[in-house]
Amino acid sequence: MTDYKAKALEMKEEILKNRRTLHGFAETGFDLEKTLALVERELKSYGLSPERVGKAGISCLIGAGAGPVLLLRADMDALPMAEETGLPFAATNGNCHSCAHDCHTAMLLAAAKLLKESEGELKGRVKLMFQPAEEKLAGAADMLAAGILENPKVDAALAMHLFVGGGESSRVGQIAYKPGCATYSGDAVRITVNGKNAHGGSPQDGVDAINIAAHIVIALQEILAREVSCADQAVVLVGMINGGSSCNTMSGSCVLEASVRSDSREKRAFLKQRVKEISESVAATFRGNAEVEFVYGMPSLYNEERMCDTVGGYCRELLGQDSVTVLTGMSGSEDFTVIAEQVPSVYLHLGAGSVAQGHACGMHHPGMVVDEAVLPTGAAIYAYCAARYLEEH
C-alpha cells in the first residue's frame, strides 16, 4: 500500500498554500464563490471530475468498479467575526476561519490527490464531500437532500475536525473520538414576548414585555437547577434580549434568543418542551403571551461503535498506538450528524495545538491559531483510513 504519511509530508507546501489562500478570503454560509472555485480548480488539476451538489457543495468520486463506497467529508465555511490573529495571511473581510474549516478543506484536497495517484490500489470507491454552511447547521442537510449519499450509494462515512486550545487531546497530532453520542444537540430558540405599550406614568394601562422577558430568563434557569440531574450534561442559555424604545415607555414587545444543548435525544426533547411551557406560562402569569419558535436545530451526533473501533485502529497503524484517545465527552454541535443518521459514521478530532503547547485561544475565538504542522497528518489520515476501509470491506 502507498505510504500515505510520507506522501502527505511531501505535499506539505502545497497543503499550506491552499490552506492560507482559503484562510485569506474566508467566506460564510452558502456564499462561497472563491472557495468553490479553488476547490474545483484543484480537483480538476488532479484529474478528477468535481460536481456541484445542492446550493454550494462539491463532490467527486475516486476509484472504479464495484465494491464499497466510503464518504470523506470536509466543511468549507468560515465564521462572521473579524480575525484577530495577526497572521500575514489573515482575513480582512470581517470573517475568519476560527473553526479551522480552511484546514479541513486543504487536508481533504491533499487526500484527494493522494488517493487519485494510488487509484489503482483502491478496493472500492471514495466519495468526497466538500460541504458549505456547517456553522449554520444547514450545509450537510442541503447536500443530503441533493443526493450526496446516492449514485453510488454510500456505505459509511468519515469526518474530521481540528481541535485547538484544550488539554491533552488537542496536542498536535493526537486523534480523539467518543463512541456513541459524541456531541451535544444544538437548538436555537426565539421567544417573542407580546405585551402592551403604555406611558411610564400609567403602568396600569400596559403589559410590560421586558418585565415578562426578565422573569422568563430567570425561570428558564430553574430547568437546570431543579429539573435536570447534576450528573447530566445540558445547557439552556439566553444569549440575546432586545426590546423597548425609550426609558419612559412600557414596552409592548421583547425578543429573546436562546441556545439549548443536551447529550441525548430524550433530554433534548424534554428541554425543548420545558422551554416552551415555561415561556408561555410565565408570559400568561403577567398578562402577556409568548410565541416560542425553534429556529433551527441538530440532534447529537452518533459515532457508530464499530466504525470507531475500525477507524481508530487504522489511525494507530498510521501514527502509533499512543496517537489515539477515546474521549468520555465532547461538546459543541455538528451538522455531520445528518450523515451519521443515515450511514455508519465516525467523527474524529485531530489535535492542532493544546494550551500547554501555547495555544491559549480555542475554537471560535477570533485569535485562534492552528499548528500547521498537523495538516499533512490530517491528509494522511483521510487517505489511509479510506484505503484501509475499502481493503477490509
SS3 33: helix
What average pLDDT does this structure show over 294-302?
89
Per-residue pLDDT band for 65 (boundaries 50, 70, 90) equals confident
Do residues 46 and 166 share a domain?
Answer: yes
Selection from 260, 281, 293, 291 nearest residue 193 by Cα: 291
C-alpha grid cell, residue 121: 490500489
Residue 283 clears pLDDT 80, i.e. is over it: yes
What average pLDDT does this structure show over 26-55?
98
Residue 329 clears pLDDT 80, i.e. is over it: no
What average pLDDT does this structure show over 332-338?
89
| Domain finish residue from 241, 263, 298 | 298
CA distances from 211 to 184, 252, 289, 291 (A): 31, 10, 12, 16
Do residues 42 and 111 share a domain?
Answer: yes
Do residues 21 and 144 share a domain?
Answer: yes
Do residues 11 and 81 share a domain?
Answer: yes
Cα 9 to chain centroid distance, Å, stands at 27
**CATH value at residue 9:** 3.40.630.10
**Sign of the alpha-carbon torsion through 303, 306, 311, 315:** positive
Do residues 175 and 221 share a domain?
Answer: no
Q: How many domains does the chain have?
A: 2
Q: What is the pLDDT of residues 346-366, one digit of tens each?
A: 999 999 999 999 999 999 999
Do residues 204 and 166 share a domain?
Answer: no
Do residues 160 and 45 share a domain?
Answer: yes
Q: What is the pLDDT of residues 77-92, one digit of tens each?
A: 999 999 999 999 999 9
What average pLDDT does this structure show over 182-205?
93
Do residues 235 and 382 share a domain?
Answer: no
Do residues 223 and 277 share a domain?
Answer: yes
Contact 281, 121 (CB under 8 A): no
Give percent of the chain above pLDDT 90: 90
**CATH value at residue 198:** 3.30.70.360
Domain residues for 8? 4-182+301-392
Do residues 93 and 49 share a domain?
Answer: yes
Give the pLDDT score at 297: 85
Do residues 27 and 144 share a domain?
Answer: yes
| Domain finish residue from 246, 281, 298 | 298
Q: What is the pLDDT of residues 41-61, one digit of tens each?
A: 999 999 999 999 999 999 999
| Domain finish residue from 243, 267, 298 | 298
Q: How many alpha carbons fall within 13 Å on the CB side of residue 126?
A: 33
Residue 6 clears pLDDT 80, i.e. is over it: yes
What DSSP string describes 121-173? G-SSEEEEEEE--TTTT-HHHHHHHTTTTTTTTP-EEEEEEEE-SSSGGGSTT
Do residues 365 and 349 share a domain?
Answer: yes
SS3 300: coil
C-alpha grid cell, residue 277: 411551557
Chain length of the chain:
393
Task: Please state whether the predicted TM-score (pTM) of the whole model is above 0.85.
Answer: yes
Per-residue pLDDT band for 285 (boundaries 50, 70, 90) equals very high
Rounded to whole angstroms, how far apart are CA atoms 388 and 393?
A: 9
